[in-house]
Structure 1
Amino acid sequence: MDTLISPRLGVGTLPRLPRNVTRPDYIPRQLGTGIVHLGCGAFHRAHQALITQHAMAATGDQRWGIAAVAMSRPDVVTALRAQDNLYTTLLRDSAGDHAEVVGAITAAVHAPSDRIGVARRIADPRVRIVTLTVTAGGYCVSPVTGQLDVSSDPVRHDLRCASNPCTAIGMLVGGLQAVRRRGGVPPVVISCDNLSANGRQLRSAVIGFAAMRDDRLADWIARNVQFPCSVVDRIVAPAGPADEAAARSRLGGVDDRAPVSAEPFLTWTIEDFTGDRPHWELAGARFVGDVTDHELAKLRLLNGTHMLLAYLGALAGHATVAEASADPVLAALARQFMLEEQGPTLNLPPEDLHRTVDELLRRFRNPAIRHDMRRVGRNGSEKMMPRVTDAMRENLAAGRPTPAAVLLIASWIRWFDLCGTGNAVTEVIDPHAEALAGLAAIAHPQLRARAFLARTDIFGELPQLDRVRREVGAALAELDRDHVIDVVRRRLSPNGNGRAA
């Protein structure tokens, strides 16, 4: 019996898609390329690329196609090229899926094999914007000094091999150097990663790298290149076979090998800058003078609470954030954490805080988005300070209790305790995994807590450190002895903020 082969998404199959599928009113080759994006992952394609498509649709300005660069693996690039750089974004919630075909990507680029070279693409006079989603590690910044880590192997490689950089920082400096040589106007460089003061961190790393090559280049970048901070917010799930099946169903049998799934909610807050740009504000973005308050709220409420639900939820046997959020005891602690610990450190009026918390809990419970614990919980050592212990430090200094933050830290340590045993909750992915596994082998919970909290590169300098050590050690002992839900219940506030959502 012959096997039927589904037609592949591409320019030729757009006319046959069902009417309820949103699609671009252009095709990629009709667009100019005005943006280079470093990090062609699912988040970019469900966020900045989609917003850019909507901005172009709202104005008819087709100069803002995107050269999307995959920094290492070629899989997404191969899939996109085979379908004219088109892909489907599935917006998913309990009401069902909405499918939109995105055509904003004009070139899918695999950096290691790109014959043009990413630096040359950045230096193209038509490119006015460079955006990045390369994760915290992609900035090559030392967590201890906050400056470019010139001792790291990737940075040393790029300093030796200027013509073939492997880091985003090296590619940016190479592109900006070419712009300076021709006397051109440099692009605006916008970080879209979940980092504190992401634009300022990126600027520091780029200038630091440039100074290692040419002081005059570093000075030119400092005077001429804008690095606005930005805050992105949308929960995007990693794609898998289920997403391909869902896309095929929505596309009426047309096959898409590069779909992305996301929640309907979306925001993008960008520090205002001068220069030509897409009208992103017509598509859900907003421009502000300073993103600091927005950034802290997002990092501490959404990202910090994601960590709480991931570490405790996995210990309780839940596979996804949605499952953990549906557990009334864990949801109660999440609400309490946001209202009583994270919220008081933010510049949010009480009514805005409560509205944001209610909205976040609804988003977390979205059963259509499979945000698995391994993904949310990975690289906890890099996330702990900006998302958890910075706020914890403020609370301790103000005399406010921090039971949920203490339990979050203990549950993260517990992941390392269980790693490699028959009771392991998930694979532990962390840049310091080997060293931390050695600390997790310390038998006594109080001594284990002391050893972990001594890592100031992870937790920072905490006030009342002896008290924090005792509380984390006590929580570790309880997690070793009792069911995690019982441990959580003991820490729920009696004032009602820890009610089930």
Structure 2
Amino acid sequence: MTNRLSRSTHPGLTLHPERMIQFGEGNFMRAFVDWQLQQMNNQGLFNGSAVLIQPIAQGTGGVADLMAAQDNLYTVLLNGIMDNETVNSREIISSVSRVINPYMDYEAYLALAENDDLEFITSNTTEAGIAYLPGDRADDAPPKSFPGKLTALLHRRFELGKKGFVIIPCELIDRNGEKLREIVERYAADWNLGAEFLQWLKSENTFCCSLVDRIVPGYPRDQAAALEAELGYLDNVMVTAEPFLFWVIEGPESLTERLPLAKAGLNVVVTPDMTPYRERKVHLLNGPHTAMVPLGLLAGLETVEDVMNDGTFSRFVKQLIEEELIPMLDLPAGQLLSYADAVQERFRNPFIRHELTSISLNSISKFKARLLPVLLRYQQERGQLPERMTLAFAALLLSYRGDRIPRQDGAEVLAVFDQAWSQPDSFVNTILGDSSLWGQDLTRLPGLADAIAAHLQQLEHEDSRAALQELVG
């Protein structure tokens, strides 16, 4: 029987002091942030590990328990093409010290405030994670929301008279650092934590906006047995990722020395303005992902590679990018086309299995962030709706009926859809008019309700591939 990965099977791995608190223990952060910490440690540039915080309540058997069973070690497998070279690497990551479940041990979580070595906080709690929940209270143990938990930790740090943190959220929402800071300050006011704490928040902490880019399919279920034989150990939390990586951090230049990612040879940019990088990535990589998911799943496709190997679907992706997304972005067309070509090459990576269901998590907030701004601008500037984006929007709404595609979203969002779908004749106007989902009343957008209704009727009677064939030729 193969031994489980642990420090007893690999005794030479260094234990590093905890220097980063990371909200989110999922595949992406472990293959992105923690992998980068490993690269700095390998070169003697950082000497630090991350302590991971489980952001949502769940029972036993989750990532925290699986990590603990492996002494918080796991393997990152990089597979793909990089600089015209095939990359097929395996590396044991030892840059995670432990995973804390604040729902089980809140005091262990708050005790992190006592550690002077900790100076960075990162997070990826999905696009829906940076949100204000009115029900969160200062005496909750813990508060339900990520910003609520963060506020409690920062207040404990302030009470101890210690220095603040550099806080770098990785959630794919615009101005993520600023929005997180605003919500923390709102909780501080709601909880009457005092003017001195608010001043400490502003003067002693740096909230950085950031943009992350790496495709991380996650645990390789289909290859697990073969990989166990190849690696010589059992790893229940190994994670696959593409070799490409890009991280833009909007922050002070001094951060390049405190967190020497670029010095370690990593594709990381610290800049005073990340806006151009964000628009390019969110709309040209994440946007096509969000558009292809419901249409692909309705057609029985399983992976991004399946989509790109299907003639009809690949034409849809190419036309969506070149005819609807790129014209709406304020960057040089040549630069955008070059980036778009690279994105589509990454989508075709034959070495990783990027499942559409894994991308579908919280698709409503993803559509709002990634595609809705472009759809609105397109209609405003051209006086018509972008056809491919509108069809994808309709497919997304249909997928949230829950009878054809498994839904993965917050209970509040699913409740809104269940209520709306209970009255199918009024569904379109009800759901488009719900500003809690979209930040505005979309029934006011000329032609959108009628177009969505027509597409829904079409998708009810045709395979999504047939609908696409009519659209893309």
TM-score (ref. length: structure 2): 0.89
* Cα separation, 2, equivalents of 1:441 and 1:367: 41
* Cα separation, 1, equivalents of 2:363 and 2:420: 15
* Cα separation, 1, equivalents of 2:277 and 2:465: 32
Select 2:373's aligned residue among 377, 383, 390: 390
Which segment is superposed worse, 276-285 or 238-247?
238-247
5 Å-filtered alignment, 1:94-113, equals: 97-113=88-104
State the match for 1:89 in structure 2. 76
State the match for 2:230 in structure 1. 250
Which consecutive segments of 4 or more residues in structure 1 shift more than 6 A?
none
5 Å-filtered alignment, 1:40-119, equals: 40-58=25-43, 60-71=44-55, 72-73=57-58, 75-93=62-80, 97-114=88-105, 117-119=108-110
State the match for 2:139 in structure 1. 160
Shift of 1:288: 1.3
8 Å CA contact 1:35–1:130 kept in 2: the answer is yes
Which segment is superposed worse, 234-243 or 97-106?
234-243
Q: Is the aligned partner of 1:440 residue 2:427?
A: no
State the match for 2:316 in structure 1. 333
Shift of 1:204: 0.7
Q: Is the aligned partner of 1:277 residue 2:258?
A: yes
* Cα separation, 2, equivalents of 1:122 and 1:76: 23
5 Å-filtered alignment, 1:171-186, equals: 171-186=149-164
Q: Deviation per CA, 1:208-233, whole angstroms, max 9, x where unpaired?
A: 11122213212321333111011111
Shift of 1:96: 7.2
Q: Is the aligned partner of 1:10 residue 2:1?
A: no
Shift of 1:54: 0.8
State the match for 2:454 in structure 1. 474
Select 2:178's aligned residue among 187, 200, 205: 200
* Cα separation, 1, equivalents of 2:364 and 2:240: 27
* Cα separation, 2, equivalents of 1:28 and 1:106: 11
Shift of 1:102: 0.8
Taking structure 1 as reference, are residues 8 and 293 closer, same or farther at Cα in structure 2, changes over 3 Å only?
same
Q: Is the aligned partner of 1:222 residue 2:222?
A: no
Shift of 1:49: 0.4
5+ long unaligned stretches in structure 1: 16-25, 142-147, 494-501
Aligned partner of residue 75 in structure 2, secondary structure = strand
Aligned partner of residue 330 in structure 2, secondary structure = coil
State the match for 2:125 in structure 1. 134
8 Å CA contact 2:248–2:271 kept in 1: the answer is yes
Which segment is superposed worse, 211-220 or 323-332?
211-220
* Cα separation, 1, equivalents of 2:182 and 2:424: 42
Q: Is the aligned partner of 1:452 residue 2:431?
A: yes
Select 1:27's aligned residue among 13, 24, 30: 13
5 Å-filtered alignment, 1:268-417, equals: 268-273=247-252, 274=254, 277-281=258-262, 282=264, 283-399=266-382, 401-417=385-401
Output the amino acid matched with 1:81: A
Taking structure 1 as reference, are residues 110 and 28 closer, same or farther at Cα in structure 2, changes over 3 Å only?
farther
* Cα separation, 2, equivalents of 1:207 and 1:97: 45
* Cα separation, 1, equivalents of 2:181 and 2:388: 34
Taking structure 1 as reference, are residues 457 and 175 closer, same or farther at Cα in structure 2, changes over 3 Å only?
closer
Q: Deviation per CA, 1:191-210, whole angstroms, max 9, x where unpaired?
A: 01111111011101111111
* Cα separation, 1, equivalents of 2:230 and 2:335: 37
* Cα separation, 1, equivalents of 2:341 and 2:226: 29
* Cα separation, 1, equivalents of 2:30 and 2:200: 32
* Cα separation, 2, equivalents of 1:138 and 1:427: 17
Q: Is the aligned partner of 1:491 residue 2:457?
A: no
8 Å CA contact 2:127–2:362 kept in 1: the answer is no
Taking structure 1 as reference, are residues 425 and 134 closer, same or farther at Cα in structure 2, changes over 3 Å only?
closer
8 Å CA contact 2:106–2:142 kept in 1: the answer is no
* Cα separation, 2, equivalents of 1:462 and 1:237: 33
Taking structure 1 as reference, are residues 437 and 104 closer, same or farther at Cα in structure 2, changes over 3 Å only?
same
State the match for 2:133 in structure 1. 149
Which segment is superposed worse, 237-246 or 311-320?
237-246
Shift of 1:298: 2.1
8 Å CA contact 2:129–2:145 kept in 1: the answer is yes
Aligned partner of residue 91 in structure 1, secondary structure = strand
8 Å CA contact 1:122–1:130 kept in 2: the answer is no
8 Å CA contact 1:129–1:277 kept in 2: the answer is no
8 Å CA contact 1:131–1:191 kept in 2: the answer is yes
TM-score (ref. length: structure 1): 0.84
Output the amino acid matched with 2:10: L
Output the amino acid matched with 2:216: V
Q: Is the aligned partner of 1:259 residue 2:238?
A: yes
5+ long unaligned stretches in structure 2: none
Taking structure 1 as reference, are residues 362 and 443 closer, same or farther at Cα in structure 2, changes over 3 Å only?
same
8 Å CA contact 1:39–1:68 kept in 2: the answer is yes
8 Å CA contact 1:396–1:464 kept in 2: the answer is no
Taking structure 1 as reference, are residues 249 and 269 closer, same or farther at Cα in structure 2, changes over 3 Å only?
farther
Shift of 1:393: 0.9
Shift of 1:165: 4.2
Shift of 1:246: 4.5
* Cα separation, 2, equivalents of 1:475 and 1:203: 40
Aligned partner of residue 27 in structure 1, secondary structure = coil
Aligned partner of residue 186 in structure 1, secondary structure = coil
8 Å CA contact 2:433–2:443 kept in 1: the answer is no
Shift of 1:491: 2.3
Q: Deviation per CA, 1:357-401, whole angstroms, max 9, x where unpaired?
A: 112122222243333333322322222221111111111111164
Taking structure 1 as reference, are residues 463 and 433 closer, same or farther at Cα in structure 2, changes over 3 Å only?
closer
* Cα separation, 2, equivalents of 1:466 and 1:381: 21
Which segment is superposed worse, 104-113 or 434-443?
434-443
* Cα separation, 1, equivalents of 2:6 and 2:171: 30
* Cα separation, 1, equivalents of 2:415 and 2:112: 38
Q: Deviation per CA, 1:18-65, whole angstroms, max 9, x where unpaired?
A: xxxxxxxx7342x1211111111111110000111112223x134321
Structural RMSD (CA): 2.5
Shift of 1:481: 2.7
Shift of 1:440: 3.1
8 Å CA contact 1:309–1:325 kept in 2: the answer is no
